[in-house]
Amino acid sequence: MIPRVLSGIQPSGNLHIGNYLGALGNWVKIQHDYESIFCIVDLHAITVYQKPDELRTKIREIAGIFLAAGIDPKHSRIVVQSTVPAHAELAWLLTCVTPMGWLERMTQFKAKAAAQESIGDGLFQYPVLMAADILLYQANIVPVGEDQMQHIELARDIAQRFNSLYGETFVMPATRLPAVGARIMGLDDPTAKMSKSASGTGHAVALLDPPDRIRRTIMRATTDSGSGVDFETMGPGVANLLAIFQSFSGWSDDQMRTHFTGVRYGDLKKQVAEMTISQLEPMQQRYREITADPSHVDRVLHEGAQAVLPTANATVQLVKEHMGIYTRGR
């Protein structure tokens, strides 16, 4: 059997180069080696309040970006999470085998909860829904950025607990990180992860930012008190710029050292900006073409959902049978 890949992105905020280098770009590269499912996880997005009109727009925008980045809809399935009710149904079934203590340990929950006035229960349950996304399709590989590793560990723990309580049911998923770019840092503050929800210009390069804006953001990036690149002593800002360049270019470590040692920071930034623009501009052009026909994205999403429904429903049926839940009356 061909191994299955599953991953997801929340339709909250603007997708940025961290999402691309940590996840989406990697998906495009590996998709054809596997059976691939990529989700737009709207049920996760609403764990924090989203303006309905913006959420509606974002979901379709992200589907357009997936296609523009090179996700091949003839091969890979692009699925809006809420269009396959089995995600939410399995999440509940898994909630019932997940100890609260496991969820209390999640670092993303602690960080997000600290930023909210009142914490919705959904935010707490968030990693269980994510485990459901993965286990619903019996995914073997989950390609993500570094910040999701703890969540995938939890999905494995939940799967293991379920299997030991109710018998062999779930496949154990494995995390797959990109070799470079698994954790892109904020350009304004290289000690904090680049994030969709962080506000302020200068923090992130969004995938749909026009070239002059990309140039401005990268030229303003925080570096350190040195003036030229030194691979032995560089600070996190310079390391982050180099990671962005290396990840976009695919250069080896040796190529990076030979080319950039001693290069002044201003010149480094120029090269990072031009490399980023050269990768994003063609994607933006394709995005405009794809979204010129608004029905195209809807068709892809409809076909994606239809294609995965049988697998999703079969897993929920199996889980219910193993748990002893009534399955006849449907």
Binding residues for ligand TYM, rule: CB under 6 A, are 6-10, 18-19, 21-23, 41, 44, 130, 133-134, 142, 144-145, 147-148, 151, 182-184, 193-194
Q: Could you tell me the end-to-end alpha-carbon distance of the chain, in angstroms, rounded to an integer?
A: 30
Report the alpha-carbon distance of residue 44 to residue 87 in Å, rounded.
11
In the complex, least distance from residue 295 CB atom to ligand TYM, rounded to whole angstroms: 26
List the alpha helices (DSSP H) in 167-293.
211-219, 236-249, 253-260, 265-292
Q: Which of 193, 269, 270, 320 is catalytic?
A: 193
The answer to whether 88 and 41 are in contact (CB under 8 A) is no
User: Given the complex with ligand TYM, which of 187 and 227 has the nearer CB atom?
Assistant: 187
Can 196 be counted among the known catalytic residues?
yes
Question: Quick one: 202 or 228, whose CB is closer to ligand TYM?
Answer: 202
| Residue 329 beta carbon to ligand TYM: minimum distance, rounded to whole angstroms | 30
**Would you tell me how many other CB atoms lie within 10 Å of the CB of residue 213?**
13
Report the relative pairing of strands 35-40 and 174-176 from DSSP bridges.
unpaired
112 is known as an active-site residue: yes
Give min distance, CB of 216 to ligand TYM, in A: 20
Identify which of residues 6 and 273 has a Cβ nearer to ligand TYM in the complex. 6
Nearer to ligand TYM, 145 or 237 (CB): 145
Beta strands in 110-219 (DSSP E): 141-143, 174-176
Question: Which residue number, 24 or 277, has a Cβ lying nearer to ligand TYM?
Answer: 24
Q: CB of 203: closest distance to ligand TYM in angstroms?
A: 10
Phi, psi of 64 (to 5 degrees): -60, -40
Which residue in 112, 269, 270, 320 is the catalytic one?
112
Residue 29 catalytic?
A: no
Among candidate residues 74, 196, 270, 320, the one labeled active-site is 196
Query: What is the number of residues in the chain?
Result: 330
**Residue 5: its H or E element:** strand 4-9
Q: For residues 173 and 156, is the Cβ–Cβ distance under 8 A?
A: yes
Closest distance of CB 258 from ligand TYM, Å: 26
**Least Å from the CB of residue 313 to ligand TYM:** 19
Dihedral angle, C-alpha 305, 282, 183, 222, nearest 10 °? -140
Q: What is the largest CA-CA distance in the chain?
A: 71
Question: Looking at beta carbons only, is 185 or 319 nearer to ligand TYM?
Answer: 185
DSSP run (H or E) holding 166:
helix 149-166
Residue nearest to ligand TYM (CB): 22
Decide: 171 and 138 in contact? Cβ < 8 Å.
Answer: yes
Q: Provide the annotated active-site residues.
A: 112, 193, 196
